[in-house]
Structure 1
Amino acid sequence: MARYTGPKSKIARRFREPIFGPDKALERKNYPPGMHGASKRRGKQSEYAVQLMEKQKVKYTYGVLERQFENLFHKASAKEGITGELLLKLLEARLDNTVYRLGISPTRSGARQLVGHKHITVNGEVVNIPSYSLRAGDVVAVRERSQSLEAITVSVAGRKINRYAWLEWDANSFTGKFLTYPSRDEIPENIKENLIVELYSK
């Protein structure tokens, strides 16, 4: 199961955004990493560099590697509608992302681990594939024997009620529902998906 395992603070500093969640290193050093630190003069980035950076940021945010991301983009471009928005909707429909959005885990990487370790079910069946694509109406739940895990109970206790309009959550049964794909304005991440579309259209 391929995934990024490198330094997260360094990546967050590169994009100057807490893409892996709150990061004290990012607060202390709000400039890109490198041996010259904040004093290094950086030239103006090319159009290609800006587009590539945006793609990389989205990949790290959702925990998707290059081949998976490219496949998702081609899938989005084959559908009717705005390709960039469709790409984000497909990313949001991933099982690991939905587990994170439901508040079962405080991070996407933690959600990916819960899925991989068979703590999550979809429509009553155990699914251990983080990239599993949900459809409207799918029910995502924590397995009964996993509901007492400290990592899950602490995360669920700290979640906000009805934080995302496209999801439904029942705290009593540790069950959530993927109601529909979110609209673009409902996705809170700071992403300029049009730059990614421009990159792939070259």
Structure 2
Amino acid sequence: MARYTGPVCRLCRREGQKLYLKGDKCYTDKCPVSKRNYAPGQHGKGRRVKLSNYGVQLREKQKVRRYYGVSEKQMLKYYHMADKMEGITGENLLKTLELRLDNVAYRLGFASSRAEARQLVNHGHFTVNGRKSDVASHLMSVGDVIEVKQKSKSSEKFKELVENHQGNVKPWLQVDVENLQGKVVSEPSREDIELPIEEHLIVERYSK
């Protein structure tokens, strides 16, 4: 499936909840989900459809895919990885998604949204353990250090980030705002992932 390039607010409305795809706009009164909490399209407002088991599983999967900005092929790959790990497959899946480089950059406050973080990574603004990394899907490990490249630190974008940095960093991460550097200090726990999702439904969907 090709990458979605349309209005991302429609995705939130389709899932019936905020997926925080638009950065700061999601926290304001301008958020379309707050104004029009129904599916987009001509029949979205009046349509009330009872989902089958398959439909419920599909919606949970799509919700997670859109939240992290991954393709179906990537999602399936992460599921197989999670299935081979010790522990609960659904939780392993979410932890794996959390450890993507673009998500870590977003969680550290180096971008206002995952989409922006993905773009910054793709444009080569970050290093991992001192080496340039421009692959958004790169999976971080405990002990890995992510840092904004020295050349990029002087840009207006990152100067503004230092001045307006939000301090809500997850406990599995450590951030040095002044030096635009962050570190993965532990694996993310299920409690660190605030998205209301029933991951067991995704496992049921893929395990058939």
CA contact (8 A) 2:129 2:146 kept: yes
**Which residue in 2 is equivalent to 1:42?**
48
Which of 129, 154, 157 pairs up with 2:160? 154
In the alignment, the residues of structure 1 paired with residue 133 and residue 207 of structure 2 have an alpha-carbon distance, to the nearest angstrom, of 34
Q: Which moved more, 1:107-116 or 1:152-161?
A: 152-161
Which of 114, 123, 126 pairs up with 2:129? 123
For 2:104, what is the secondary structure of its paired residue? helix
How do 1:6-21 residues align onto structure 2 when only pairs under 5 Å count? Answer: 6-19=6-19, 20-21=21-22
How do 1:1-202 residues align onto structure 2 when only pairs under 5 Å count? Answer: 3-19=3-19, 20-21=21-22, 22=26, 24-38=31-45, 40-161=46-167, 163-202=169-208
Percent identity, aligned pairs only, is 47
For 2:6, what is the secondary structure of its paired residue? coil
In the alignment, the residues of structure 1 paired with residue 4 and residue 171 of structure 2 have an alpha-carbon distance, to the nearest angstrom, of 29
Cα distance change on mapping 1:172 and 1:156 into 2, 3 Å? closer
Instruction: Kindly state the Cα deviation for residue 17 of structure 1 after the two structures are TM-superposed.
Output: 1.6
For 1:144, what is the secondary structure of its paired residue? coil
- Number of paired residues? 200
Cα distance change on mapping 1:82 and 1:10 into 2, 3 Å? same
Instruction: Kindly state the Cα deviation for residue 134 of structure 1 after the two structures are TM-superposed.
Output: 0.5
Instruction: Kindly state the Cα deviation for residue 14 of structure 1 after the two structures are TM-superposed.
Output: 0.4
Instruction: Kindly state the Cα deviation for residue 158 of structure 1 after the two structures are TM-superposed.
Output: 2.9
Cα distance change on mapping 1:4 and 1:149 into 2, 3 Å? farther
In the alignment, the residues of structure 2 paired with residue 41 and residue 14 of structure 1 have an alpha-carbon distance, to the nearest angstrom, of 12
Q: Which moved more, 1:126-135 or 1:179-188?
A: 179-188
Instruction: Kindly state the Cα deviation for residue 162 of structure 1 after the two structures are TM-superposed.
Output: 5.4
In the alignment, the residues of structure 2 paired with residue 155 and residue 7 of structure 1 have an alpha-carbon distance, to the nearest angstrom, of 25
CA contact (8 A) 1:142 1:175 kept: yes
In the alignment, the residues of structure 2 paired with residue 59 and residue 112 of structure 1 have an alpha-carbon distance, to the nearest angstrom, of 14
In the alignment, the residues of structure 1 paired with residue 123 and residue 202 of structure 2 have an alpha-carbon distance, to the nearest angstrom, of 32
CA contact (8 A) 1:106 1:155 kept: no
The aligned amino acid for 2:196 is N
Q: What does the per-residue CA deviation read over 1:160-198, in whole Å, with 9 as the maximum and x for residues that have no partner?
A: 335210000011211100112111011112221111011
CA contact (8 A) 1:59 1:69 kept: yes
CA contact (8 A) 2:165 2:177 kept: no
Instruction: Point out 4+ residue stretches in structure 1 off by more than 4 angstroms.
Output: none
Give the TM-score normalised by structure 1: 0.93
In the alignment, the residues of structure 2 paired with residue 16 and residue 150 of structure 1 have an alpha-carbon distance, to the nearest angstrom, of 36
In the alignment, the residues of structure 2 paired with residue 59 and residue 11 of structure 1 have an alpha-carbon distance, to the nearest angstrom, of 11
CA contact (8 A) 1:162 1:169 kept: no
Which consecutive unaligned segments of at least 5 residues does structure 2 have? Answer: none
